[in-house]
Amino acid sequence: METLPWLLEKLPGEIEHKANRIMIRHHCGERSTLWVNDNVTTPEALLLLGDVYSRYNGMDLFTSTFKLFAIDGPTYSGDVPIVGSLDELKNEITGLTISFPESAVPFMYEAGIGYYAADRSRGTIYKWDACEHRLTSEYSGLDCIFEEWLKAVL
């Protein structure tokens, strides 16, 4: 999945290019921001996610419904932190006693729903449900997760 074309196909909108990010004002009222990867090395475990970390370094999608954490530090809009770092996410998950398989790397939070981790060795994305306090779903790609959300809200 190429992230930007996929987002625009599913939820069309206007694009604004900034120095370090791409902003989308979707016609449905949602907003998305993708921070550009400025030569930051993608952790091998996250290569399963396609261009999400090779082209981008953190995302705030669909008006903060999904936050894909940045590789090398938090992302900001001015002085306001928008998306934390993968290390911050790892610490948060450890504090919440969330347990993903050892080979999985946490990378995303869905507001009010739960956390996601990618396991390249298995080609799987795991979902930890915040209400049920357990792994509840497995996905083969981000597009499956986003399609599920789109079907629920549109």
pTM: 0.94
CB under 8 Å to 47, separation ≥6 — which residues? 53, 54, 120
Strands, sheet with 31-36, edge to edge from the N-terminal-most edge strand: 13-17, 21-26, 31-36, 56-61, 66-68, 105-110, 114-119, 124-129, 134-139
Q: Which amino acid is at 109?
A: Y
Q: List the chain pLDDT tens, one digit each, 154 residues.
A: 899 999 999 999 999 999 899 999 999 999 999 999 988 888 888 988 989 999 999 999 999 999 999 998 999 888 999 999 999 999 999 888 899 999 999 999 999 999 999 998 899 999 999 999 999 999 999 999 999 999 998 7
Q: Which of 33, 46, 40, 36 is closest to 107 using CA atoms? A: 46
Rounded CA gap, 96 and 85, in Å? 17
Contact 113, 129 (CB under 8 A): yes
CB under 8 Å to 19, separation ≥6 — which residues? none
